[in-house]
Amino acid sequence: MYYPQDPPYFILFAGLIAGIACGAAFDATLRQNAKAWSANRTNLSLAKTDDITLRLPFLGICLGIIFFLSAGLEIFGFPTWLAYSIALPLTLFIAILLWFQLQVVFKQLDRGGSPALDLDSWEE
């Protein structure tokens, strides 16, 4: 059994804190964009608001998750190269799926407003 001599606990907690901090920034930016869109729907498309102010916190979340996952795998005995080779593609795949889903939600909101996201109407 392989036990690391110096587990990367600092990287684990730093990745967690970075992900949480960037998640809070992403939430605040998304709320601000939605509020601006709600106040002035005619001039602004919500799907077009994915500029650098929204992408930068999202990138920070992804980097925090990569470091958190890889450090967690290293703590459980994975070599560093294997931990990062698992965490990087996994995080990128999920981030791409999430970003595309966010764009779909933005387009639905642009077309139909907030009633377009009424999930209770799907119940039979």
With respect to residue 106, please indicate whether it lies within any of the assigned structural domains: yes
Contacts (Cβ under 8 Å, ≥6 apart) of 16: 64, 68
With respect to residue 119, please indicate whether it lies within any of the assigned structural domains: no
Q: How far apart are CA 41 and CA 29, in angstroms?
A: 17
Q: What tokens does 98 get?
A: 């999430």
Mean pLDDT of the chain: 84
Q: How far apart are CA 12 and CA 51, in angstroms?
A: 29
Q: What tokens does 104 get?
A: 């779909």
With respect to residue 124, please indicate whether it lies within any of the assigned structural domains: no
Give CA angle at 100 (94, 111), nearest 5°.
Answer: 150
Q: What percent of the chain has pLDDT over 70?
A: 78
* Total number of domains in the chain: 1
With respect to residue 3, please indicate whether it lies within any of the assigned structural domains: no
Q: How far apart are CA 63 and CA 69, in angstroms?
A: 10
The model's confidence at residue 39, banded by pLDDT at 50, 70 and 90, is: confident
Domain residue limits at 56 = 9-113
**pLDDT exceeds cutoff 70 at 43:** no
Q: How far apart, in Å, are the Cα atoms of 13 and each of 30, 59, 62, 81, 90?
A: 25, 18, 15, 19, 19
With respect to residue 123, please indicate whether it lies within any of the assigned structural domains: no
With respect to residue 80, please indicate whether it lies within any of the assigned structural domains: yes
The model's confidence at residue 94, banded by pLDDT at 50, 70 and 90, is: very high
With respect to residue 85, please indicate whether it lies within any of the assigned structural domains: yes
Q: How far apart are CA 20 and CA 22, in angstroms?
A: 6
**pLDDT exceeds cutoff 70 at 52:** yes
Per-residue pLDDT at 124: 47
